[in-house]
Amino acid sequence: METNRLKQFKTLVETQHLRKAAELLRMSNGGLSKSIKALEQEIGKKLLIQSGRNIEITEDGQALYSRLPDFFASLEGLYQGGQLNVPQREVIRLGTFEVFSTYFMGPVVRQFLDKNISLKLFELIPGELEEAIQTKAVDLGITYIPISRKGIEFYAVTDLSMGIFHLQGAFQSVPVEELPFVIPNAPIKGSPSSPTHTTGLDAWPTSLFPRKIAYEVDLMETALEFARAGVAAAYLPEFIVNLHNAQIDKKFRLIKRPVAISKKLRLRPIYIIRRANRVEDAVEKQIAKAIRLICKI
C-alpha cells in the first residue's frame, strides 16, 4: 500500500472538498480522484461518496481515517535501526484571529500548554475560522465573534471587557464622539450569532455611537502602532491592552477612555469553537484555563 495515497486520503477527509485537497497536495482534481479509487480497490472498501467536488465519508472511510494518526506516528518513529521507541509530540491545530494571537498566545504556550504538545496556529478571521473547524483543517478555535455553522459548537469560557483606548495624554480635549478611530478592514464572513449587534472585526457595538473612522488597517499590531503614535483611538479587549502595556515603554502605554458603556455592550463572551462530535480533552481544558486566567490580567 502506498503511503502517499493514505496521506492524500487524509487530506481529502480533513478538507471535505476535492479541489481544496488537490490544491494542498499540488495535484490535479482528476489525479487525486484516480489515486483515491486505486486506494479503494487496494483495500476493497468504499471510502468516499463523491458529488461533484464535494465528498461524503463512508463508515469504512471514517474507520480508516481514525487509524491514520497512529499509523503516521509509527512511521515517523522509525529510524535506521528500525525501532519505534521514539516519543511522539501531540500536534494541536488552533485557530484564532490576530487580536488574540498577537499578545495572548505567547503566555498560553509558555505557561499552560504541555511541553509534549506542538502547536500549529492559524490566524483566521471570523467565518473563515468556523469553516476551518467545520472542514477539520483546524482542531479548536478561539473567538468572541461567533459565526454559526452546521456541525460546530461554541463553548463559552469567560467574559472579556471591551473599551476605547488611546495614548495617555492624547485627545484630552476631544469628545469621545469626535475621536479618530483606527479599525480593522477585514470583513467578517457571515452574520455574528450574538444578541448585541456588532460591525467589523473589533466587534464595535453599533448602538453606542457612530464612530469617526480615520484609519483602516489589516493587522491589530498596526492599529496599536497608530494608537501608540497618538493619532488614533481603538476599540480593544481590556486584557489585550494590559498585556501590551506590560511589554512596552511607559511613554507608549495606552489608557482606557472613560465612557458610559452598559455591561451588556462592554462584556463579550470568549468561546472555544469545536466540532460537535469532538470530546473535550486535556489540551482543550488547558486552553480554557489559560483564557480564564489571562483575561483577568
What does the pLDDT look like over 13-39, one tens digit per residue? 888 888 888 888 888 777 788 888 888
Decide if pLDDT at 242 tops 70: yes
Is the same domain home to 102 and 245?
no
Look up the domain containing 30 and give its range.
Answer: 3-77
Q: Which residues contact 132 (CB under 8 A, 6 or more apart)?
A: 95, 122, 124, 138, 141
Decide if pLDDT at 280 tops 90: no
Is the same domain home to 141 and 62?
no
Is the same domain home to 195 and 285?
no
User: Comparing 144 with 195, which gets the higher pLDDT?
Assistant: 144
Residue 290 to residues 8, 94, 117, Cα–Cα distance (Å):
35, 14, 15
Q: Tell me, yes or no, whether 84 lies in a domain.
A: no
Is the same domain home to 174 and 241?
yes
User: Comparing 287 with 51, which gets the higher pLDDT?
Assistant: 287
3-state secondary structure of 139: coil
Q: Tell me, yes or no, whether 276 lies in a domain.
A: yes
CA pair distance 200, 182, nearest whole angstrom: 12
Is the same domain home to 210 and 284?
no
Q: Return the number of other C-beta atoms located less than 10 Å from residue 118's C-beta.
A: 12
197: confidence class by pLDDT, cuts 50, 70, 90: low
pLDDT score for 83: 53
79: confidence class by pLDDT, cuts 50, 70, 90: very low
Is the same domain home to 147 and 165?
no
Average pLDDT over residues 250-261: 90
Q: Tell me, yes or no, whether 117 lies in a domain.
A: yes
pLDDT score for 215: 96
Decide if pLDDT at 179 tops 90: yes
Is the same domain home to 132 and 208?
no
Please provide the average confidence, as pLDDT, over all residues in the chain.
Answer: 83
Is the same domain home to 284 and 149?
yes
Q: Tell me, yes or no, whether 73 lies in a domain.
A: yes
pLDDT score for 40: 84
Is the same domain home to 141 and 284?
yes
Q: Tell me, yes or no, whether 181 lies in a domain.
A: yes
Specify the amino acid at residue 128. E
CATH of the domain at 35: 1.10.10.10
CATH of the domain at 127: 3.40.190.10
Is the same domain home to 255 and 272?
no
Q: Tell me, yes or no, whether 83 lies in a domain.
A: no
71: confidence class by pLDDT, cuts 50, 70, 90: confident
Is the same domain home to 262 and 272?
no
CB of 133 closer than 8 Å to CB of 274:
yes
